[in-house]
Homo-oligomer: A and B are copies of this chain.
């Protein structure tokens, strides 16, 4: 079946580039995270709030992925951190080669590299970008059944952020049910509950990021 063969070849090539990227991140002691979600779950807003909380003590850069427009990169640039926009022109996910090429435009020697993927809860699950963790953001307005309906993404992620918790009074969303469903497919999933409007949960989330950065830097190979 030629489609499957070809797809496997494309994925194998992607995985090789991703492995090289991860080795480079490791050598530089850089934590790389890949933000994934449906369109409009709040990836960019969460990233803006995250940047404001950590940019004074962590050196970071952002790679933005969008099907069209550089709106998100402009929003991030307003927070005075290096950012590069990848416009995929219709492609439904980022690939490692796109990220590798984009990284040529941002400084090295970073503590943290955040890749914001295309808004899509399906396709980006299968594409390794060299990150250390996929962070899936699910907003309360999307429904608590999403981990059951899109299990691959919740299986691929290390962290789930339940976002827009300020809207819980106005929507039908059972956080406990959602977390239980997500942990059915991924028992080790780390979970945060956030609101970018009220700021709730952001200290916990950025605390996790700081902890991971420190862990990564401790494992960094020291120059001779």
Answer whether residue A80 sits at the interface, using C-beta atoms and an 8 A cutoff: no
Q: Which one of B68, B71, B143, B151 lies within 8 Å of A40 (CB-CB)?
A: B143
Answer whether residue A92 sits at the interface, using C-beta atoms and an 8 A cutoff: yes
Q: How far is the CB of A20 from chain B (nearest CB, A)?
A: 21
Q: How far is the CB of A96 from chain B (nearest CB, A)?
A: 16
Number of A interface residues at 8 Å Cβ cutoff, please give it.
38
Q: Which one of B10, B39, B167 lies within 8 Å of A121 (CB-CB)?
A: B39
Answer whether residue A38 sits at the interface, using C-beta atoms and an 8 A cutoff: yes
Q: Which one of B119, B139, B142, B151 lies within 8 Å of A68 (CB-CB)?
A: B151
Binary flags per residue of A130-160, CB closer than 8 Å to B gives 1, else 0 = 0000000001011101101111100000000
Answer whether residue A202 sits at the interface, using C-beta atoms and an 8 A cutoff: no
Q: Which one of B92, B141, B143, B164 lies within 8 Å of A120 (CB-CB)?
A: B92
Known contacts A40-B141, A121-B120, A141-B164: A149-B68 contact under CB 8 Å:
yes
Known contacts A6-B2, A40-B142: A119-B71 contact under CB 8 Å:
no
Interface residue ranges, A against B (CB under 8 Å) = 2-3, 6, 10, 38-41, 66-69, 71, 90, 92, 118-123, 126, 139, 141-143, 145-146, 148-152, 164, 166-167, 170-171
Known contacts A121-B119, A122-B118: A66-B149 contact under CB 8 Å:
yes
Which B residues are in CB contact (< 8 Å) with A67? 122, 149-152
Q: Which one of B139, B141, B145 lies within 8 Å of A71 (CB-CB)?
A: B145
Known contacts A39-B146, A149-B39: A92-B167 contact under CB 8 Å:
no
Q: Which one of B6, B40, B143, B167 lies within 8 Å of A146 (CB-CB)?
A: B40
Q: How far is the CB of A16 from chain B (nearest CB, A)?
A: 16
Q: Which one of B10, B119, B126, B142 lies within 8 Å of A150 (CB-CB)?
A: B119
Q: A39 to B170: give the CA distance in the assembly, Å.
A: 18
The 26 listed contacts between A and B (C-beta, < 8 Å) are A2-B6, A3-B6, A6-B6, A38-B38, A39-B121, A39-B149, A39-B150, A40-B139, A40-B141, A40-B142, A40-B143, A68-B149, A68-B150, A69-B145, A69-B149, A71-B148, A92-B92, A92-B123, A119-B150, A120-B122, A122-B123, A139-B141, A141-B141, A141-B142, A141-B164, A167-B167
